[in-house]
Amino acid sequence: MNILDKIVADKYKEVELKKSLIPASQLESSVLFNRKGLSLAKTLRDSHTGIIAEHKRRSPSKETINQNTNVGQVAIGYEKAGVCGMSVLTDIKYFGGSLEDLLLARASVTMPLLRKEFIIDAYQILEAKAYGADVILLIAAVLTRAEIKNLSEFAKNLDLDVLLEVHNEEELHKSIMPSLDMLGVNNRDLKTFKVSLETSKSLSKLIPDEFVKVSESGISSVEAISDLKTYGYQGFLIGENFMKTNNPGKSAAGFINQL
C-alpha cells in the first residue's frame, strides 16, 4: 500500500466518523454557508503572476516544514504580498492541518481560499463551504470519472470553483468535463514523491483552453514560472518554498517582486 492509498483509506474512516458527529444540516446552517464565493479561476486569468500560496506545516515526504506558524498571520502576509489565492491544507494526520486553519484564514483575508484535502465524499464539500472555502480540490488519482462528475457538479451548485489535479495522461483523459474550472498538474508523483516539471510541460498540450492550467509542486524559481507560462500555465501552486522560511508572506512578496 503506497502513501496515497493509506491517506485515502484513513480519509474514508475520518469522514464516516465526522458524519456521525456533525450532521450535514448543521454545516448548511453555518454563518459562512451562504457567502458568495470568489472565483480563483477568474483571478488567475486576470493576473500577471498566478501565484497560489500554500499553508502547509508538514507532509509525508518532509516530516516538518514549519510547525511555528499562525495561519491567520501567514494568510495576511500572503495577501499583502499580492498572491492570487491561498491553499489551506486541512488534513490533520499527514499534513498537520485542520478545518480551523481554513476558518482562521477566512477570518483574516478576503482573497480566494482553496481547501486542500483528499475529497472522497460530498460531505467534505459541505464542510469546505461551511468553513469559508471558495475552491475545492479533487484528485483524479483517487476518484473514478463518475465520482469526479458527481463531486464537481455538487461543488458548482454550491458556488465553489473546482480545481482537478492530475499526474499523468490517463488521469487527464478520464477527468475532462464541463463542471471543472481549473486543471492542475501535480509535478510530484504521489507514489514515489519524485518531482519533475516535465510532467506539467508534457501534459499542457492535452488540456483544453477553456480550463485554467495550474502547475503544482516543485516550483521554486521565477525562471520555472516564466518557462511554464510558455506552455499556457496561468496558475502556480507554491507551498514549501514559502513555508520553509520564518516569514512565508515576506518570502512570497520577494518572489512576486522578482516576477
Q: Which residues are catalytic?
A: 54, 56, 116, 165, 186, 216-217
Which residues share a beta bridge with 113?
86
- For 78, 80, 249, 252, the CA distances from 256, given in Å and listed in that order, are 10, 11, 10, 6
End-to-end CA distance of the chain: 41
Going by C-beta distance under 8 Å and a sequence separation of 6 or more, which residues neighbour residue 215? 184, 185, 187, 197, 200, 228, 233, 235, 236, 237
Going by C-beta distance under 8 Å and a sequence separation of 6 or more, which residues neighbour residue 63? none
* Residue 52: closest CA among 250, 234, 185, 258: 234
Q: Where are the alpha helices (DSSP H) in 46-144?
A: 71-81, 99-108, 122-130
> Is the distance from CB of 236 to CB of 258 less than 8 angstroms?
no
